[in-house]
Structures are given as C-alpha cells and as structure tokens.
Amino acid sequence: MIQNPKSAVFSFTALRRDYDPENDVDEYKTLEPRESSEPSIAKWRRTLYLGSAISAAILLTNLIMVLWASLRKSEHGQSVLLLSENCDRVKRLSTRVHLLINILSTLLLAASNFAMQCVGSPTRHDVDRSHARNEWLDIGVPSVRNLSKIHRMRLFFWFCLALSSAPLHLLYNSTVYSTFSVNIASIYVANSSFTSLTNTDITAAAYPNLSPSALSDDLRLVEMAKNMTYLAPQDCISAYFTNFLSKYNNVVLVSQGFNGSVEPISSIGMQFVTSPSDYSPEPAYSWLCVSERAYSPDVPLNEWPKFCSDVRSRVRSGQDWVVSGYKVNYCLAQKTTEQCSLEYSLPLAIVVIGANLTKAILICLVAFCLRDDPLLTVGDAVASFLRSPDASTVGTCLLARRMVLSDTRCDVREQKYSILGKDSVYEPQPYIAKQKRWWSSLSKTRWASLCLMYTLSLAVSISLLGLGLCKMEITDGIWDSGLGTVQHNTIINDEHWPEELVPNVLIANIPQLIYSVLYVLSNGILTNMTLAGEWNTFSEGKKGLRVSTSPKGNQRTSHFLSLPYRYGLPLIALSALIHWLISQSIFLVNANAYDELGERDPYFDVMALGYSPLAIVISICVSILLPASLLLIGCRRFKTGMPIAGSCSLAIAAACHPRAKTDDEKLDIEYRLLKWGVEPSKPGEIGHCAFSDADVTAPEDGVFYQ
C-alpha cells in the first residue's frame, strides 16, 4: 500500500518488477514458470538498504546547505538571503528549488513509509501467537490492529518514524520561501502646468508662504514628475486600489481645479502598507474615495471598501473621479521596479535536519536489526501457510473475513471456527456462489468512517470559503482572483494573528497534513479492495504468488506492495494535483516594505497568510473525486463467489490447507502456479477447498465443504 503520495516514486522503483508491457496491461495474468535462485539477502531488506543510503544522502545535502547558509552574513534575522532579483527570475528559481525539495522529501518519506510497513507488518511468529489467543492480524495493509501485537521495539520504531514525518509535511517545503516588495506612496495634487515649471519658477519670491525645505521638495517633485507614467483616471484607480502597492509608489493627481498660485503642488495624504494584524475598517487605499460623501454619516468606516469599489465602477463607466474636492483629470505615477527575494530559514531547516537524522538512523536500524521476514503481502502469507499450515484453521476452508468480523462472531467462531487446536472438528459449511461487490471486502464501519471524515473536511472547507468570501472587500467574481495570487482582499486579517514565520508556516500546512491522513485512509480502502480482487482471481486460473522477497519459480514480485499500477498511478496523479491545489489555496504572504523614497522600511513589513477562493473551490471539487472513485470501484463485482479473505490472517490461513500433492519435486508448492478450488476427493467424502498446484475444480453453489 502507498502510505503517502510522496512514497510513490520510491515504492515504484524499489518494489516493481522489471517493466514488461504485457505485465502492465494485466497484472493478474498467469506467468510462465521461471527458475531463479534465492539470494542471500531478501528483496525487502535490500530495499531498506537502499532507503538507508537515500536518507543518508539527503541528510548530507541538508547539512551542507545549513552550514553554507549559516556562514553567510544576513540582515534578515534568522533567515538567509539567497537571491534578490526581479520577480520573474526569483519565481523561476523558487519553482526549481521547491521541485528539488519535493523530490528529496518524496524519497525520504518513501523510504520511511517502507520501513514503517516492514516494522508494522506481522511475522509468522506474530500471526501464530495471535491465532493461539483467538485473535487475528491484518496482512498486506498497514493496520493499527497490528501495532498492539508486534514487539515493543518495532512499535517504538514505528511511532518514531511516524512522528518524524510531521516536520517534513509541515516545514520542509517552507524552508525556502520568496518575498515581494510593497511600497509606501505619497499622494499629491497639482494642475497641468506643474510639469512645465522650472527652477526659476519655484522660488521664495514666487511662493513666499513656503519654507526653504518645502521649496526644495517641490523642486524635487517637479524633476521626478518628468519621468512619471501617465495614467487615465480608471487606470489610476486600478493601480492604487490595493493594500499592497508594488508597481508604483508616489502619485500626482492632476486637476484643473487646483489653484497653484499658493503652492505649485500639495500633499493630500499617504498610502501606507496595512498589516493584517493592525486590522482597521479603513483600507490603505481609502484616499481614492475621499470626497464629501465619504465623510457623511450614511457611509460609516466599515463600509468604505464597498464604497471605494463603487467609486471605481462609476469611474470605469465614465463618471467623474473626485478626490478631496478635486476632479482628477489624470495621474502621474512613479513606476518602481518590483523586487523579490528568495530566503532560507535556518530554524526550519534545523528542525527538518533533526527529522531527517532520526529517519536515517531508524531506517538503518530496521534494515540491519529486523531478523524475521515480515509478511508484507498476502502472497507472503499464503506462501508461509502453504509451507507450514496453520493448525488452528484446519477444516475451515470457506472461512471469510465477514465471519470473523460478524456481530455473531461468538457463535460462529466459538462453535465452528474457534481456535481450538489441530484436533478440533469443524462443521462443513455450504458454498455460496453469489458474486459480491468489491466494497464488501471492507466493514461498513470503515466506509462510514471515511465518509464521515471527508464530509467533515468538506464542511469545514466550505464554511471557511464562505467566511472568506463574506470578508472580501470587492464584489468581483472569484474567477478573477487567480490561483495562489496575493491580493489585498484575500489576506487573513486579525489583530491577534501572528507575524512570525514559523506559526504562519505551520498554519498554512495544516490542510496538507489533514489531506495526507485522508489519503492514507482512502489508499487503505483501495488497497483492501484490489487485494480482494487479486485474491478472487486465484479461483479463475493458476498463477504465481506475489511476494516481497525475491521471487522463485512462478512467484511474482509485488508492485506497490498490494496496489496494481492501473489504480496506483492515477491515485498518485490525483493526490499530487490535490496537494498542489491546497498549496495554492492557502499560502504564505511575506512582503518587504519600501518608503516613498525607495528605502527599506522594515516597520511596515508584512508576514501573513493569503487564500485563493478560486483554488479552494477547485480543491473542493477535485477532492470529491477520490471518495467518489472509491465508491465507483467498490461497485465492481468479483468474478466468482470465492470467500473474501481480505487482509484477515485467519481467513487467509484457512484457504491454505491443500490435501492433494503433485509429483513435481523440483519446487515446493508455494513456488508453483496455484489455483483455489475443490481438490479431488473420494466418493462420499466431504469436499475440501484450498490453494493447490493440482487440478482443482470450481465449488458448487449450496454444496458443503470442509
């Protein structure tokens, strides 16, 4: 089973057999016999060795990066500046860096997940001990049930590997993050003759009421205006209608109604950078709407955003734009170069290295200290039970998982399938030829739990989306908001919101962690159904067992442990898409502020979270596909009425008591082509069903077997 979408690459390369187009088309087809010698090192252990090497290499890479970054001088506190360039280049580099980080985390989590699968899967000794206690274990799928039945040291390894995955999910991708620039702007008003003034026009004699410093500022503004960009009123409003001004800073509103005889240019305000933690009903761009009506009692401060949006709409339709009593004819805006940077967080990187080191040590310990072969697949269990049959299930050849899990299990198990020993006598049971659906291989409780968790997650997502839409300050549709785009009206604002990097990173990645849990649950259900599907095909024709050890004879190497390619690859693609959509739905917003002179002003820096309503809507729609696909797959019917064993060790063991023997002494039975069915019997003898390499027949509906 793929425990996490990030484990796909590792599992695919480490556990798959040599690629064969025919093998990929039909994963259940019968293979021709082949001879291969059993290697001294099992395949699963060699996979762990590879995982140990990969985790050590990733640890070395992270250590080199941290050491290099710690030696660099930086004015960014605990973060190291990697690059400060134009935003296009920073964005391209950020994409490449995060691609590399995702590859490394994919490999590391995959190695960890496989190690968890190895320590969490029962050995034959664990199974025998549980059967002796009237209990059963799961085989072929990760299971919480197994954790209480395995050795304490393996349990300790499992929990440490699981806990060390959390920092990788929550922090690794955020160790490198990008920032963008925001500007503080001074707002001026002047008439059209302002730009034609010269040094000789702006003197103390011409403007006796102005101080020398004011005259100097006016001269500077005149020179600056010559290089400003012309903007029509509607374009000017669109450019400055934001709390995060990045393309422009200072602006001159040109109005014919301004009298320049007293002063050539007048300051009417500033547009600051509004921090979400300093939330105020008045937006940073409120100067756009300053008019006599804005100050009237019928327009309270908390309605300014909507009022400003109405002003923009009216100007777009051709109406006049009035600011502080002046009708604006056009604007002269000072264009700035958008500066972005790429930064590396040392505190986050150190936590990631700690998790990386923990995993590297634990994977090595599992690889070198795990003694007995774990039963990783149902094929492993069948091979083990054929090699050494389970005495407690003799004569229970039609035992199914539902009988073990039934509410009447006390009657069924204690009277007919009780684990009483090899000399027990069990009543024959009738074979039911009804072809059940795949979903019946799982309990209703498990289906209900998955549906409940998905319903709760979707309900919370939709509620938060509705809350976010209600707080949006503009009336534009969400389809114009973009994916992962920073907008002033989609910033989470609250006076108690943290302004530090680590809390924002943790909050932003919580949805990723929640979806990873949902993915594991969904993948477990799909693995159980496909496992039952392959189990059922053994009643149709002979085929070799899928094993996690090196195959011998007609055995086959497992792919994705128990999940076939036709289901595994689409599942990985869908999960990767959902993870990416979630990253575009809620994301880190880190802005560096610059004052009206273009100098850095850290006081107005912004650290917050942004959200994309469009990405949230798409994420909700796409995420519904996963449970819907599971339900659709669950509607498939099995080809025969073979009892569904699922991952239940008791039901698997019950089907592995062959009576018939062949004359082939070259290979033990577990290495041969096998089929489940009714073995040849003497007249009057009660029939018996089992995995066998002999010529077996299909059981008949209503006939009793033992």
pLDDT digits (tens, 9 = 90+) for 528-542: 899 899 899 999 989
Confidence of residue 156 (pLDDT cuts 50, 70, 90): very high
Burial-class residue 501 by CB neighbours within 10 Å (0-12, 13-18, 19+): buried
When pLDDT is averaged across residues 668-677 and rounded to a whole number, the result is 90
pLDDT digits (tens, 9 = 90+) for 10-49: 332 233 333 333 333 343 343 344 444 445 577 888 888 9
Residue type, 417: Y
DSSP assignment of 279-335, as one string?
--SS-TTGGGG-STTTTSTTS-GGGHHHHHHHHHHHHHTT---EETTEE--EEEEEE
Position 365 scores a pLDDT of: 92
Position 578 scores a pLDDT of: 85
When pLDDT is averaged across residues 295-324 and rounded to a whole number, the result is 63
Position 675 scores a pLDDT of: 93
Tell me what the pLDDT averaged over the chain comes to. Answer: 79
Of the ranges 48-62, 246-260, 424-438, 539-553, the best mean pLDDT one: 48-62
Asked whether residue 52 carries a pLDDT value surpassing 90, the answer given is: yes
**How far from 11 is each of 48, 455, 530, 563, CA to CA, in Å?**
11, 30, 17, 11
Position 481 scores a pLDDT of: 64
Residue 518 CA to chain centroid, in angstroms? 10
Position 30 scores a pLDDT of: 39
How far is the C-alpha of 620 from the C-alpha of 617, rounded, in Å?
A: 5
How far is the C-alpha of 648 from the C-alpha of 381, rounded, in Å?
A: 10
DSSP label at 30? P
Instruction: Name the percent of the chain lying above pLDDT 70.
Output: 79
pLDDT digits (tens, 9 = 90+) for 166-215: 888 888 888 888 888 889 998 888 888 877 777 666 666 666 667 777 77
Q: Which helix (H) or strand (E) holds 556?
A: strand 556-557
Residue 273 in contact with residue 240, Cβ under 8 Å?
A: no
Q: Do strands 229-231 and 330-335 pair parallel, antiparallel, or not at all (unpaired)?
A: antiparallel
Residue 101 in contact with residue 356, Cβ under 8 Å?
A: no
Position 123 scores a pLDDT of: 92
Asked whether residue 155 carries a pLDDT value surpassing 70, the answer given is: yes
How far is the C-alpha of 406 from the C-alpha of 403, rounded, in Å?
A: 5
Asked whether residue 419 carries a pLDDT value surpassing 50, the answer given is: no
Asked whether residue 527 carries a pLDDT value surpassing 70, the answer given is: yes
Residues composing the chain: 706
Lowest mean pLDDT across 364-378, 385-399, 563-577, 628-642: 563-577
Burial-class residue 429 by CB neighbours within 10 Å (0-12, 13-18, 19+): buried
Q: Do strands 248-254 and 185-190 pair parallel, antiparallel, or not at all (unpaired)?
A: parallel
Position 410 scores a pLDDT of: 37
In the chain, count of helices (H) and strands (E)?
A: 21, 18
pLDDT digits (tens, 9 = 90+) for 331-346: 999 998 888 888 888 8
pLDDT digits (tens, 9 = 90+) for 381-394: 999 999 999 988 88
Asked whether residue 351 carries a pLDDT value surpassing 90, the answer given is: yes
How far is the C-alpha of 311 from the C-alpha of 289, rounded, in Å?
A: 7
Position 318 scores a pLDDT of: 57
Burial-class residue 643 by CB neighbours within 10 Å (0-12, 13-18, 19+): buried
Position 500 scores a pLDDT of: 80
Residue 428 in contact with residue 706, Cβ under 8 Å?
A: yes
Position 305 scores a pLDDT of: 58
Question: What is the arrangement of strands in the sheet containing 229-231, beginning at the earlier edge strand?
Answer: 229-231, 330-335, 248-254, 185-190, 266-271
How far is the C-alpha of 610 from the C-alpha of 608, rounded, in Å?
A: 7
Query: How many Å is the Cα radius of gyration of the chain?
Result: 35
Position 28 scores a pLDDT of: 36
Of the ranges 59-68, 93-102, 400-409, 661-670, the best mean pLDDT one: 59-68
- Of 224, 319, 148, nearest to 598 (Cα)? 224
When pLDDT is averaged across residues 335-364 and rounded to a whole number, the result is 90
Of the ranges 122-131, 468-477, 518-527, the best mean pLDDT one: 122-131
Residue 42 in contact with residue 554, Cβ under 8 Å?
A: no
Confidence of residue 304 (pLDDT cuts 50, 70, 90): low
Asked whether residue 352 carries a pLDDT value surpassing 90, the answer given is: yes
DSSP assignment of 175-216, as one string?
SEEEEEEEE-EEEEEE-GGGGG--TTTSSTTT-TTS-HHHHH
pTM, full prediction: 0.77
DSSP assignment of 139-159, as one string?
-SS--HHHHTTS-HHHHHHHH
Position 488 scores a pLDDT of: 64
When pLDDT is averaged across residues 425-434 and rounded to a whole number, the result is 80
Question: Any idea what the Cα angle at residue 218 is, between residues 214 and 221, rounded to 5°?
Answer: 140
